[in-house]
Structure 1
Amino acid sequence: MLFDEAFCKEQLTGLESDQNNFFENLARKLGSAALTSSVDHYVKYQKIGQGTFGEVFKVRHKETKQHYALKKIRMEQEKEGFPITALREIRILRSLDHENIVALKEICHSTPTEKNNYIPQFYLVFEFCDHDLAGLSKQVDFSDAIKKAIMKQLLTGVYYLHKNNIIHRDLKAANILIDRNGVLKIADFGLARCTLKSLKPDRPNRYTSRVVTLWYRPPEILLNDRHYGKPVDLWGAGCIMAELWTKYAIMQGDNEINQLKLIINLCGSISPVVWPNVVNLEAYQEAKLPLDIKRHVREKLMTQISCSLAVDLIDKLLVLDPAKRMDAEAALNHEYFFAEPGPADLRVFSKSGTTYLEFLSTPHAHPPAIPGASNRAPPSLHPVNSHRGSMPSIRGQSGSRPGPYHPYPPQNAQAHNPGHHYNSHSHHKGQAKQNQPSHGRGRGAPDDCIYDRIY
């Protein structure tokens, strides 16, 4: 592991007065323990991803001839020497071992030269997956059995993460990969967090609200809840499931207020009646939300989804109150997964030899990374209707059921308290820094405890 308990305690001593030393030591520890190869060992094939975080390439290892995905870590303007999101992603991925979680193979570096001021560039090497769900959904018609297989594997991966106290915080179709063996992989952990208890009992963990791509962002985050948890991922899973039928994101807001309106139009008014604890959110108190909008999830989804059990599951995932939202284990035990047809074999996608990746497909609308950045897109599941009240800016396998379904158990990660051995690194994803808070120190830092930010 990169960091043992003694090292963590050592760095926590006098942390507030010596944060620079803390992060320098982290980068130094990372450099000595995790760099296993030169990037020169790989040959680039083609670019398969592009974003504000940098570029992703399909590469081949010169000796093994194996294909991988090479992701560049952006180092520009990193005052702390190494991106905190990269440290977090490396640490998390190095601790997880599950077939539905993308595997981080190694961290590579370029050769320091005069040209790069003798500062090496760092890269993350991941297992290569031929497809992502965003690319597939635009080009392939899914059978009911395929949809079921996708959701079963996705929820199994989420179950594993949550059992290990990890929240992904950016589930969306583009971050769901499928390899040539038909195994789904949850990818891009640049915004993931460990949900261990706060180091200070009188100060519960507070998380940034600048997470989750806008179209998949749950209402609690839109209302600036700083104490959210695992339910944020289940909202994203519900949005992804609906998208398997609609072929587009069902709620496509171009800013936070607009996104909240779309959620209300579909899921009904946000009020203490349906969400008692919402009164504790300052943003809810400040916003004058409409109180007369009824919930229409089932009615609107049934116009495009003929499977009533699928509609019921989505309805239970898209629940306004996070405390009432179905969790991953309950979702995997839903009747939908025990009804005919059973889950299909996802290897069918690779039989044609075609690669389905969003970046390589015909250009289409992407969810805005930054609230307010509008872009053309297919219509949402429903229009944004005007309603009474203003909304000011918010800061911020078939067969009978065998019994409770328990997905693959955690392997090389402790099921209840994995954070102490997290080896991770990472950069940020397509939304990059503008869809994420500044990682500066002091008030307003993304997740308040400096030490916790590594996890």
Structure 2
Amino acid sequence: MASQKALLGHGACRSVGCFTKGTKIGEGTYGSVYQAQDKESGQCVAIKRVKLGDSTFEREGMPITHLREVSILRALRQHPHIVQLLEVVVGSAVDSVYLVFEYLQHDVARLVDTMSVPFSLPEIKCLAQQLLTAVSHIHANFVMHRDLKLANLLLAEDGTLKVCDFGLARRFDGTAGGAIDPEGGAGKEGGYTPNVVTLWYRAPELLLGARQYGSAVDMWSVGCMLGELLLHRPLMPGDTELKQLHLICELLGTPRARIWPGLQTLPHASKMALPEFHYNELQTRFAKLSPSKATIDLLNGLLTYDPEVRLDSVRAQAHPFFKERPLAVRKECMRSFTTHSNSRTHAAGGPHGSKRQGEAASSLLPAAKRQSLQRMSCAHALKDEYACSSPGGLALEQRRPSAASSPHANRSVLPSQESMRIPSPSSVVVSNRRQC
């Protein structure tokens, strides 16, 4: 079909039968994600099955949401800190389409939730530098990710961080709020939907209904992630939009027109009575960490109310936070989170209720040996008959929420499965220092 040819970009695509299907490792609004292995090369990959409505596909072809995601991933390909879309494959049915991604064992959210020893400041700086490098490339190509969160940051065994899940990404024209890929319907005056970004990481302009916005919404998310890495817990874990606004005001003080000139022009600004907090409490919130002035200044710059003044990725990369000691550790010297599961059990309750048990063994290994073990672990997982899914619960009291995936979704985001999480096959994470 025409839309399928546009999706592929060139030539005929391979069949999904070229892969050995493994365990389910994620479930999202736009598709399920499975671990798989290429029968020819032996490469371990992540395959995302695209959800298509039969009647819609027959009538209109490939949905625009998937075409956008593939188009954006192609535009951003070959960047070392963005997950690579390897190919598109099809099944036997006309509406069976799959996206094949490189496979990375860990996502940062799960590591934060399970690791007994938090990331050190040099490690956090290393992760933040890689994240900002990726975000800078995304924005330089006039793309907004619109769902940056720790669960969408994957970590390879060599310490490389990669951004994934571009299902909500959109293009913009580089001006403030300029939309070249608008989502507005009749009577909505164009622009984008404000119902994007997972609630804990959602910028205040989105919470107040902005439809004209730009890449600054991603930078707010970066600030939330940096705060979460430093605290080892979510910075502002609201469970409704009103609660999220309350937490933002409690941490940063209630916004005023003098520091945010565009505040009163936002659709919900006059409808919501913001709570009164007179002081910025960032320094107090991080007091136990004895943060430097540069640390608080970077957080303040990223968590600035006015999106016109908020730090962009280029200025954030050049911030003194990254130049003062302790300096960022080299990514090759990041802790290793190599795991090996000796046994698994499948509990009742389906994939979301599964429990896994196993002893973990980890050692400081050369890169080639680590890669060999990773391939062996992948093959072992593919032979396993038991389901292996994301854990049903988290170590935190709050379960991580997901981003709303459409303009028609419920405005109050409820806890649910992340859209594209690629966890390690083992439930136990063991960390070790590499020898550098």
Matched, 1:36 2:17: no
Correspondence 1:284 to 2:269? yes
Q: CA deviation at 1:88?
A: 0.5
Q: What residue number does 1:189 align with?
A: 166
- Pick from 385, 389, 393 the counterpart of residue 363 of structure 1: 393
Partners of 2:9 and 2:128 in 1: CA distance: 39
Residue aligning to 1:126: 101
| Equivalence for 2:382 | none
Q: Any idea what the Cα deviations from partners look like across 1:119-165, whole Å, max 9, x if unmatched?
A: 33111111111211111112232111111100000011111111111
1:64 corresponds in structure 2 to 41
Name the SS of the counterpart of 2:283 in structure 1.
helix
**How far 1:257 moved relative to its partner?**
1.3
Q: 1:5-54, CA deviations, whole angstroms, 9 ceiling, x for partnerless residues? A: xxxxxxxxxxxxxxxxxxx8434533673652111111123222223433
Looking at structure 1, the residues matched to 420 and 160 of structure 2 have their Cα atoms a distance apart, in angstroms, of 23
Secondary structure in 1 matching 2:14: strand
Gap runs ≥5 in structure 2: 182-187, 342-387, 404-409, 422-436
Would the aligned equivalents of 1:254 and 1:368 in 2 still touch at CA under 8 Å?
Answer: no
Output the amino acid matched with 2:302: L
1:319 CA displacement: 0.8
Distance across 1 between alignment mates of 2:19 and 2:2: 29
Q: Which residue of the other structure, out of 73, 79, 96, is the alignment partner of 1:98?
A: 79
Q: 1:138 to 1:191 in 2, by over 3 A?
A: same
Q: Choose which of 412, 415, 425 in structure 2 pairs with 1:372.
A: 412
**Displacement of 1:60 after TM fit?**
1.1
Q: 2:313 aligns with which of 309, 328, 348?
A: 328
Moved more, 71-80 or 178-187: 71-80
Partner of 2:129: 152
SS in 2 for 1:270: coil
Alignment of 1:191-210 (within 5 A): 191-196=168-173, 206-210=191-195
**Pick from 89, 92, 99: which aligns with 1:111?**
92
CA distance in 1, matches of 2:55, 2:207: 28
1:48 corresponds to which letter in structure 2? Answer: I
| Matching residue of 1:171 | 148
2:410 paired with 1:429: no
- Consecutive unaligned residues of structure 1, counting only runs of 5 or more, are 1-23, 113-118, 377-427, 432-455
1:13 aligns to what? none
1:303 counterpart residue number: 288
Q: Give, in whole Å, the separation in 1 of the partners of 2:138 and 2:340.
A: 27
| Mapped pair 1:89 → 2:69 | yes
Match of 2:22, SS?
strand
What's the offset of the Cα at 1:287?
2.3
Q: 1:104–1:296: structure 2 CA closer, same or farther, 3 Å change rule? A: same
Deviation of 1:111 after TM superposition, in Å, equals 1.2
**8 Å contact kept, 2:157–2:338:** no
CA pair 345-363 structure 1, distance change in 2 beyond 3 A: farther
CA distance in 2, matches of 1:83, 1:230: 24
Counterpart of 2:271, as a letter, is E
| Bigger RCO (CA 8 Å, 6+ sep) | 1
Other structure's SS at 1:126 match: strand
Secondary structure of 1:55's aligned partner: strand
Amino acid at match of 1:105: L
1:248 maps to which of 209, 212, 233: 233
Flag as ranges the 4+ runs of structure 1 deviating above 6 A: none
Task: Give yes or no for contact 1:305–1:311 (8 Å, CA) kept in 2.
Answer: no
TM-score between the two structures when normalised by the length of structure 2 = 0.73
CA 279–323 in structure 1, closer or farther in 2 if over 3 Å, else same: same
Greater mean deviation of Cα atoms: 69-78 or 324-333: 69-78
Residue 222 of structure 1 aligns with an amino acid whose one-letter code is L
The structure-2 alpha-carbon separation of the partners of 1:78 and 1:310, relative to structure 1 and needing over 3 Å to count, comes to farther
Whether the 8 Å CA contact 1:198–1:204 is kept in 2: the answer is no
- C-alpha spacing 1:42/1:216, structure 2 compared with 1 (3 Å): same
Query: Could you tell me which of 312, 324, 339 is aligned with 2:297?
Result: 312
CA distance in 1, matches of 2:284, 2:150: 24
* Partner SS, residue 70 of structure 1: strand
Distance 1:259 1:48, change over 3 A: same
RMSD: 2.9
Structure 1 residues 352, 132: closer, same or farther in 2, change over 3 A? Answer: closer
For residue 75 of structure 1, the aligned residue among 52, 59, 62 is: 52
CA contact (8 A) 2:245 2:274 kept: no
CA contact under 8 A between 1:130 and 1:355: conserved in structure 2? no
Q: Distance in 2 between matches of 1:350 and 1:167?
A: 30
Q: Secondary structure at the match of 1:284?
A: coil
- d(CA) in 2 for partners of 1:283, 1:77: 38
Q: What do residues 193-231 of structure 1 show as CA deviations (whole Å, max 9, x unaligned)?
A: 11126579xx99611111101111000001111111011
For normalisation by structure 1, the TM-score amounts to 0.70
